[in-house]
Structure 1
Amino acid sequence: MYIIGGFECNTNLELALYELEELGFREEDIFIVEMKHPRNSERLINSIHSSDGKSLMDSITAWGVVVGTLGIIYGSQLLIGPIATGLLGLVVGAMIGFLTDLKVNKNKKKKRSNIDVLLIIHCKTEEREEKIKKILQKFLVVTIGVHK
């Protein structure tokens, strides 16, 4: 059976490895896999097939409609007329929506997995499995899995 533990890359991983070796595990029974976090390019506009949860078009449209409508309503009082002020309000509202969305999305941090290293340990008995789990939990493992 294999016991898999996900660790952050820190001294707890080294201490867990040391204690596992003290318990009698050989280097052939312990596998370490470094996890790579790919960088995805962020797009400003989502498509039908993929979305990253950050839609700029919603805010741009909402702000454009609101400020454009206000421009039409109050533009009848101005010299240039309601159509021109409505179009001007649409452009200004779209810029407000775009800048608001950029500010909001910039402040949101993308969640990243805390697992930097996978530790895979091969063991043969149930009692050793329990010992391994206790050692991993002692050294703050993020996740534990067992494959039998």
Structure 2
Amino acid sequence: MQIYSTFKHSIHIEMAVSTLEKKGIERENIFIVPLDNRKEEHKLFDTIHHSDGTSLIDVGAALGTAFAVIGASIGFKLAWGPIYWGLIGASVGFVLGFAIRLFTEKILKKKQRLLKGAHSELIMIVDCEEAQGELIENILFDHFAFGVAKIK
């Protein structure tokens, strides 16, 4: 039987290995694989298949609305009239809001996006007898495993 579990890279995996060795599992039957971190930068624009929950047009829509109202109000006194100045204000406000949001996501929050994937996880594979499966599963969960799967 094989038992697969995932851990955060911490001291808890070392403690789990030592506990397993004390319970009679040999070191040759314990296999630990570190997962690689993402090297490329996260994509800022969403696709049809994946969205990260970050909207780039929310500030643009709000500023576009505000600038459209201001442009239409001022447009009564200007030559082109309120409709044209309202559309110009909406366009300028949307572009300004989009640029502000793009700047904050690209420059200011870049460090936060890079830190999200900084901690690699580990996969531990334990070969054992079927009778030891429940004991090993409990030991792994006691040492903060994210998940455990058994394959017979």
Cα gap change, 1:29 to 1:54, in 2 (>3 Å): same
Any residues of structure 2 matched to 1:1-148 within 5 Å, and which? 1-48=1-48, 51-56=51-56, 58-59=57-58, 62-63=61-62, 65-79=64-78, 81=80, 82=82, 83-84=84-85, 86-100=87-101, 103=104, 106=109, 116-126=121-131, 128-148=132-152
**TM-score of the pair, normalised by structure 1:** 0.74
User: Residue deviations 1:39-75, cap 9 Å, x none?
Assistant: 442344444565443332x326523541342144212
Question: Conserved in 2, the CA contact under 8 Å of 1:7 and 1:115?
Answer: no
Q: 1:112 to 1:143 in 2, by over 3 A?
A: farther
Please tell me whether the aligned partners of residues 68 and 89 of structure 1 are also in contact (alpha carbons under 8 angstroms): yes
Percent identity, aligned pairs only, is 23
Please state whether the residue corresponding to 2:36 is helix, strand or coil. Answer: coil
> Matched residues in 2 for 1:131 and 1:120: separation?
15
Q: 5+ unaligned residues in a row in structure 1: which ranges?
A: none
Work out the CA distance in 2 between the residues paired with 1:23 and 1:2: 16
Amino acid at match of 2:96: M
Over aligned residue pairs, what C-alpha RMSD do you find? 3.2
Q: Does the CA contact (< 8 Å) of 1:67 and 1:90 recur in 2?
A: no
Determine the C-alpha separation between the residues in 2 that align with 1:133 and 1:113: 27
Whether the 8 Å contact between 2:70 and 2:89 is mirrored in structure 1 is: yes
**TM-score for both structures, normalised by structure 2:** 0.72
CA separation of 1:143 and 1:113: change in aligned 2, threshold 3 A:
farther
Q: 1:144 to 1:115 in 2, by over 3 A?
A: farther
Kept in 1, the 8 Å contact 2:5–2:123? The answer is yes
Which ranges of structure 2 fall in alignment gaps of 5 or more residues?
Answer: none
Q: In the superposition, relative to structure 1, how do residues 115 and 146 fare at CA in structure 2: closer, same or farther (>3 Å)?
A: farther
